[in-house]
Amino acid sequence: MTGPTSRAQSGWKHDSPPDRAWKGRPGRTRATIAAEQDRAAGGRHRRSVDLGEGRFARASVELKVLPDTRRIRAYLRWSDRGKSPARYLGQVECETRAANLAEGWKMAWEKGLVTEEPPTEGSWASSPSVRAVMRANRSRDTRPEVRLRSLLHKQGLRYRVAARPLPELRRTADLVFTKPKVAVFVDGCFWHGCSEHLRASHKNVEFWRNKIEGNQARDADTDRLLREAGWRVVRVWEHEAPDVAAARVMSVVRASPPDRHESEQSA
């Protein structure tokens, strides 16, 4: 290994490797541990071990220091019917834990120990990578949505969550301010076709294009129907800075009622 984060091939000759090179941070949760492994592997879909007979297990890379050699060793671990098999991957010598985990995953792929788990039967996703993106884009209580709600609540605004502005219309807004008649939608970059951050699939291109264009058409129709009913619509992209988005929502909610055909759109 070469580069600014790599040690000499002889490893740490006189001292043990620093904790930052192999130890996990205190207070980690299962979610943060999984996220760390996902980043190092290049995505959750790249962490699968084929157990045979159509079964797959989610693997992790473990880093250990051997006191007698002062070397960091990487192991691949997974669970299989109550057992925890492990395979030695090799020595890693980078300065940070993140870089060493990434090296471990690279070794696992080079040794053919891991694979991409195929889509489940009936799944719309044409590849594990697309399925991973779909899973990351939840329809409710996403991180941007929760952060936006928190900022608005701190400013004294009260709202309904995941509600229909018009009960007779089957369209749900993420935030609904009933008295000023303002509906807020927090749009995910994948599902709603963000021009800046949409990562288009290279498989089933026509299917996904039609799917996203259909969502965009439904968004436009929702805006039109709500405007005609006297509502104002604010659309926020998930990539927008929460404080900027909150300020935009507050300005609409606290403003005097505009013309019934006016609508706020995100930049």
Closest CA to 142 of 186, 88, 184, 172: 186
How many other C-beta atoms are found inside a 10 Å radius of the C-beta of residue 158? 9
Maximum Cα interatomic distance, the chain, rounded to a whole number of Å: 76
Residue 161: closest CA among 170, 148, 264, 253: 148
What is the mean pLDDT, run by run of 10 residues, along the chain of 267 residues? 43 72 88 91 88 86 86 94 92 92 94 76 47 50 86 94 92 94 92 75 72 91 96 94 95 72 43
Quick check: 133 and 190 in contact, CB under 8 A? yes
Range list for CATH 3.40.960.10 in the chain: 128-254
pLDDT reported for residue 26: 87
pTM of the entire predicted model: 0.48
Does the domain spanning 128-254 belong to CATH 3.40.960.10?
yes
Closest CA to 148 of 177, 127, 113: 177
And the tokens for 170? 């089957």
Contact 246, 184 (CB under 8 A): no
What strands, in cross-sheet order, belong to the sheet with 60-66?
60-66, 71-77, 86-92
Specify the pLDDT at position 53.
Answer: 74
